[in-house]
Structure 1
Amino acid sequence: MADTGGLAAYLSARAADASGEPVAASAAYARALDAEPDNALIAIRAYRESLDAGDDVLARRAAAVLDRAGVAPADAALLPLAQAARAGDAAAAQRAAARLTGGPLRILVPSLLGWIAFSQGVDASGALDAASGDALSRRLATETRALLLIARGQTATGLAALEAVRGGDGDLDLRLTASQLLSGQGRRAEAAALLPGQGPLERAFRAGVPAKPTLGFAVSRLLTRVAADLGEETAAPLLVALTRAAINADPTNDRARVILATSLARGGVPGPALSVLGQVGADAPLAGLAAATRVSILNGAGRTAEALPAARARAEATDASSNDWQRYGDLLATAERFDEAARWYKRAVDAAPNSWSAWMQYGGALDRGGRWPEARAALERAVALGPTEPLALNYLGYARIARGEAVQASAKLLERASALDPDNAAITDSLGWAYYLTGQTTRALPLIERAAAAQPGDADIGEHLGDVYWSLGRRYEARYAWRAAALGAEGDLAARLTGKIASGLLPRR
């Protein structure tokens, strides 16, 4: 890389890349590619950064360089495929699909060819019958066959075929696509019947999101279905490529935008993720889901000051769900605004009075807010609704025994919790602490040692371990455990540990 301007741009791009600034990195890689137009190393980095940043022009330019060098990644063929599908150019889409044949995205080819044949008004059976070898490819082809029947107006046959393949991975996106096609034909009742659940996607699409079976729509939903199926099990670059192509093929595909934003955030680039969500219109069917996803991304990025008002706005929206109330309650609890958190958790309880987890969250907020009598009642309700739920058993048992309430009965709850989830360090520690508080120090030690080994950075467990060691006369080990715990302690716990390190464990009253 002899050109110093190119080298400077390349180094600038690498710095922006390392700092998680894909928009700046994309611009810098574009400058580097200007200086070194045939440099495949620059091109591959430019290609990936441009996808993160949403720079379609640079992505196509970089992909062309990689094509000429014979080193283009398999997902680069998605760019011309999306363009062709959006334009309704069946011939160009067929050429783009052919480029996928030899790579990992070959699973898409039979379904793509089926939709291309449909767009040309010819029989798609031959293309779909060619799906063999790979189980996912065969499943996608079977799903596509059902969707094509619906697209051709053969509703009863299509719905029967759809029913035959429902229940596996990708089922939700399959039903969403079918509902859009039915809604586009004016068959609102059949469309709504495919979406009986109360999740945000089903609720939004059940209201009717009509679509026509254009090539752009079909390709976009196929790519989205695969991206949703792959989810967190797949490296972010492939998900980004799939969802960017889905949006390019059909810019109305907000489902793909939400998946893309989640993938970008998981890849450490929340800025572009939020930008993608900003493209979802305020009146769009998925506006609520986009807003909720924005809250999660802001919170995950440590931007709590922005996440809190965004979560509140979502929680106060007319179409808010219990998930929105719980999410806002979680943020309030993290901010130690426990009374406010309890009010929002109570809404979730009122909406789902038989949910043990809702009652436990509500009780937890009341407990941390200093309202123990109310908390105890809520936690007892959680255990009554979830008698085999170790988290509920552990919370109530530990909270009561720490206060000296119903000691023997609380120890029994913790023994049940530990039996149900023996590998949970927090529960193991709770049971050990219960034994310690009931004078069974020797019985407590191996449990708390096991919990500390599993969670060496947990300050509470470390304090418990030090207390047990001290009570057994192992003073050196006690102070060592307290010092280790103090490294991660804050507030009252930190002050308490400082006192124990200096003066030892005071006799329990």
Structure 2
Amino acid sequence: MRARAADADGRPAAAAQDYARALAADAASPVVAIRAYREAVRAGDLALADRAAAALGGAAPADAALLAAGQAVRDPATAGAAIDRLAAGQFAIFAPALRAWTGRESATPAATSAGGGDAIARRLLEETRALAQIARGDTDAGLAALHARLGNDQAAQDNRLFAARLLIAQGKAAAARTLLVGEAPAIVALRARVDDRAAGVAPTLASAASHLFARVASDLALGPPSPVSYALLRAALRADPRNDRAAILLAGALARDGATDQAVATLAAIPADSIHAAAAATGRVQILAAAGRDEEALAAARAAGTASAADASRLADLYLRLDRPAEAVPLYRALVERAGAGWAEWLQLGAALELAGDWAAARPALERAVALGPEQPLALNHLGYSLIEHGERAGAAQAMLEKAARLQPDDAAIADSLGWSFYRRGQLARALPLIERAAAADPANAEIAEHLGDVYWSAGRRFEARYAWTAARQMGEGDDAARLATKIADGL
């Protein structure tokens, strides 16, 4: 079926269109209806999702109640029945919180079939009670209740932002500022607009439900995208299409599912004046880079600019990925000139300079990285290995690599560097077990495989050397592949 092929190719919108035609031709088929429903939710074709759910009737997936609630909460006349439907099903955890917002709160939170459901329902209820107090204008009590439940996780940040936007809509800028602490991009963006009521959010059931659904979807975002995750996010956006936090989460789910174009389009729809605009720009770069679309990622990173350290570092990293280190150098140099630059920024600069062929400038940058991070295995390993490769300060380099290995004994790259140092200093017996261990731990690393071949050849194990070099050549490109081909033919 073309729909399933489109789904596998990461084209959910095309797949949904094909399923719509299939459903129109055979509305009585539960197999077609359930596939149409799932693809429609993923693609955002909620009209098709509604038709498929109606065709399934009582056999519709439990998360169809979430989509229905996302629509129903926009109208007070239909909201109560939708919440009651949630209370009677698998997603009963949402009902107490939504009832608390509407003033229809029941005596006890609804139980759910999932283990621990009552605890989750209570947590969501307590958070929503506090938010509802703020929405009703009971600011002091609401803030006290909310602060008592705020941690340092993403859920806390989402609750801070929603509560602050409720306050901004009421013109309570001072109270909103008490919630906007920290340097997360969305917090910073909203703090800059705290006196702008347009940055607020109306205290409606639709906005509260949208926040609630997205807040739970955020908790699920670390795992692979699931039908429940998609249903939550589509319900959130159905309730409030301006919920840009839900759009960010949806784009991430689509990207992890291979639907790169739709993920990027979802981010592109986020307005430039949104408090989540920076996250959208960052997400676009990350999604394109993860999909191997490097030139598009580079164009997106350039468009995002380099005003923040994160943006500058991301663009520089992309230049390195595209083997353009000379263009990365000025960006990394600007990073080390910012206040508070640490060992990591100096290491990035040193690595870029070395790749650009400027070892004379790279060495002091790498030494600065080690001076600022004397217990950092990454910095010790990089400088130590580079010194060995450039034939400088072999004793000091060996000591750095040994220290790095003590600090991080299971790191394949460090084991390889230490083994290579022994090899370059003529200590073959000490080099071989280290590089063999590194190759076993990271068999896809072409450099380690080449080192192993060199050590085997020097040890007289010619067949094994050629086998290791062949493996390295299969992973190498350009000059590396040509060099390895010569080794396979002629040896060292």
2:71 to 61, 83, 92: 83
Matched, 1:212 2:198: no
Structure-2 change in CA distance of 1:234 and 1:159 (3 Å): farther
DSSP 3-state at the match of 1:86: coil
1:189 aligned partner: 174
Q: Which amino acid aligns with 2:369?
A: A
The one of 438, 442, 446 aligned to 1:451: 438
Report the Cα distance in structure 1 between the residues aligned to 2:461 and 2:88, rounded to whole angstroms. Answer: 66
Residue number among 79, 83, 86 corresponding to 1:97 in the alignment? 83
Match of 1:417 among 369, 392, 404: 404
C-alpha RMSD of matched pairs (Å)? 2.1
1:153 paired with 2:133, answer no
Q: What amino acid does structure 2 have at the position aligned with 1:139? A: R
Q: Is the 8 A contact 1:236 1:264 kept in 2?
A: no
- What residue number does 2:183 align with? 198
Q: Secondary structure at the match of 1:283?
A: coil
Partner Cα distance (1:461, 1:216) in 2: 56
**Structure 2: which amino acid aligns with 1:255?**
R
Aligned partner (choices 375, 382, 385) of residue 398 of structure 1? 385
**How far apart, CA to CA, are the structure 2 residues paired with 1:129 and 1:192?**
35
Contact 2:449–2:472 under 8 Å retained in 1: yes
- How has the CA–CA distance of structure 1 residues 109 and 349 changed in structure 2, closer, same or farther, with 3 Å as cutoff? farther
Query: Which runs of no fewer than 5 residues in structure 2 stay unpaired?
Result: none
Which of these residues, 410, 426, 433, is aligned with residue 413 of structure 2?
426
2:298 aligned partner: 308
| Aligned partners of 1:74 and 1:100 also within 8 Å | no
What displacement does 1:37 show?
0.9
Task: Assess if the C-alpha contact under 8 Å between 1:88 and 1:214 holds in 2.
Answer: no
> In 2, Cα distance between the equivalents of 1:88 and 1:82?
12
Question: Which residue is equivalent to 1:115?
Answer: 101
Number of residues paired by the alignment? 483
Match of 2:342 among 336, 339, 355: 355
Residue 290 of structure 1 aligns with which residue? 280
Name which of 107, 112, 126 aligns with 1:126.
Answer: 107
Instruction: Flag the 1:356–1:95 CA change in 2: closer, same or farther, 3 A.
Output: farther
Q: Following the alignment from structure 1 to structure 2, what is the Cα–Cα distance between the partners of residues 391 and 107?
A: 45
AA matched with 2:185:
P
Deviations 1:315-374 (A, max 9, x none): 25xxx3111111111111111111111112223333354332222222211111111122
Q: Deviations over 1:244-273 (max 9, x none)?
A: 111110111111111111110111101211
Query: Which of 261, 269, 274 is matched with 2:251 structurally?
Result: 261
**Superposition deviation, residue 56 in structure 1:** 1.5
Equivalent residues of 2:93, 2:111 under 8 A apart: no
Question: What is the distance in 1 between the residues matched to 2:14 and 2:482?
Answer: 45
* Structure 1: distance between partners of 2:478 and 2:26: 56
1:231 is the counterpart of 2:215? no
What's the offset of the Cα at 1:93? 2.7
Summarize deviations over 1:439-461 as a string: whole Å, max 9, x none.
22111111111111111121100
Q: CA deviation at 1:71?
A: 2.6
Identity of aligned pairs, percent? 53
C-alpha distance in 1 between matches for 2:370 and 2:87? 55
Deviation at 1:129, TM superposition (A): 8.9
Q: Aligned-pair distance for 1:286?
A: 2.2
- Identify the residue that residue 361 of structure 2 maps to in structure 1: 374
Q: 1:14, 1:428 → 2: CA distance?
A: 46
Paired residues of 2:224 and 2:256 also in contact (CA < 8 A): no
| Conservation of the 8 A alpha-carbon contact between 2:73 and 2:82 | no
Pair 1:435 & 2:416 matched: no
Q: Which amino acid aligns with 1:387?
A: P
- Give per-residue Cα distances to partners, 1:465-486, cap 9 Å, x unaligned: 1111122222221121111211
3-state secondary structure, aligned to 2:274? coil
Rounded Cα–Cα distance in structure 2 between residues aligned with 1:177 and 1:462:
52
1:62 pairs, out of 52, 70, 74, with 52
TM-superposition CA deviations, 1:127-176 (whole Å, max 9, x none):
55989854322222222222122222222222222222111541111111
Q: Find the counterpart in structure 2 of residue 462 from structure 1.
A: 449
* Equivalent pair of 2:92/2:110 in contact (CA under 8 Å): no
Distance 2:478 2:177 in 1: 53
SS of alignment partner, residue 285 of structure 1: coil
